[in-house]
Amino acid sequence: MKEDFDNEMKLEFISKSSNEAFARAALAAFAAQLDPTIEELSDIKTAVSEAVTNCIIHGYENKQGIVKIMARLKEDEIIIEISDKGKGIENIDMAKEPLYTTKPNLERSGMGFTIMESFMDTMEIESIVGLGTKITMSKKIKPKNQEEEDNEFQMITKQ
Ligand SMILES: Nc1ncnc2c1ncn2[C@@H]1O[C@H](COP(=O)(O)OP(=O)(O)OP(=O)(O)O)[C@@H](O)[C@H]1O
Ligand SMILES: [Mg+2]
C-alpha cells in the first residue's frame, strides 16, 4: 500500500542543549523542500526549538535521555512530532496557558506552547505522567505567486 505522505524523516539525539541548534537546522533543511519563505522557515525553527528545549529541561530535567523527532511532508504541509520519555505533564490545559511555567526560577517565561501554537497552524500535546510527552505540530506552506518569489529572491540576494 502506498503511504499517506510524500516524504518522511526521523531524528534521535541525546538531550543536550547543544543539540537544539542541530535539531532546528535539520528540520529547516527538511522543510526547505516545500519552498517556504524565510518567515515560514523561521516560524518552524522557533517552534522546533521551543519543543526540543521543553523535552530537555522539563521532560528530562537535564538528566540524559533521548529526544525523538519525526517529520512528514504531505502536499504543501509539514507535520512534526517531537517526543521525550521523560516525566510527563500533569495538567496539559494549564501547561498551555500563556505565562504558566513550573520553573519560574530558571528564567522561564511560560511562553513556549503559546509560541508553538501561534507560529504553527496546529499544535497538540499528548502526555502521560511518568512516561513522556509528544508534541504534534503542523504548518501549511503557502503557494507563492511570481511577485512574492521575486521579492524573496531579492531579499536573499541582498543579504
Ligand atoms: N516535554 C515536557 N515534559 C514535561 N513537562 C513539560 C514539557 N513541556 C512542557 N512542560 C510543562 O509545561 C509548562 C509550560 O511549557 P512552556 O514551554 O509553555 O513554558 P516554559 O518552558 O516553562 O517557559 P519558556 O518556554 O517560555 O521558557 C512547563 O513549565 C512544564 O511544566
Ligand atoms: Mg518552554
> In whole angstroms, what is the distance from residue 22 CA to residue 51 CA?
13
Residue 34 near residue 71 (C-beta atoms within 8 A):
no
> In whole angstroms, what is the distance from residue 140 CA to residue 122 CA?
10
Q: With 70 as the cut, is the pLDDT of residue 159 above it?
A: no
User: Atom of ligand 1 at shortest distance to CA of 101?
Assistant: 29
Strand order in the sheet with 77-84: 7-14, 66-74, 77-84, 132-140, 122-128
The number of the ligand nearest the C-alpha atom of 103 reads 1
Is 108's C-beta closer than 6 angstroms to any atom of ligand 1?
Answer: yes
> In whole angstroms, what is the distance from residue 58 CA to residue 106 CA?
11
44-88: per-residue pLDDT in tens?
A: 999 999 999 999 999 999 899 999 999 999 999 999 999 999 999
pTM of the shown model: 0.91
- Cα dihedral 61/86/92/108 (nearest 10): 20
91 to 47, 103, 133: CA distances (angstroms): 21, 15, 12
Say what the pLDDT of residue 1 is: 63
The alpha carbon of 3 is separated from its chain's Cα centroid by a whole number of angstroms, namely 23
The three cell numbers of residue 154 are 531579492
Is 65's C-beta closer than 6 angstroms to any atom of ligand 1?
Answer: no
Q: Domain 7-158 class?
A: alpha beta
Q: With 70 as the cut, is the pLDDT of residue 38 above it?
A: yes
Kindly list the domain boundaries of the chain, sorted by start residue: 7-158
Q: With 80 as the cut, is the pLDDT of residue 26 above it?
A: yes
Is 100's C-beta closer than 6 angstroms to any atom of ligand 1?
Answer: yes
The number of the ligand nearest the C-alpha atom of 90 reads 1
99-157: per-residue pLDDT in tens?
A: 999 998 877 899 999 999 999 999 999 999 999 999 999 999 998 776 677 777 777 77
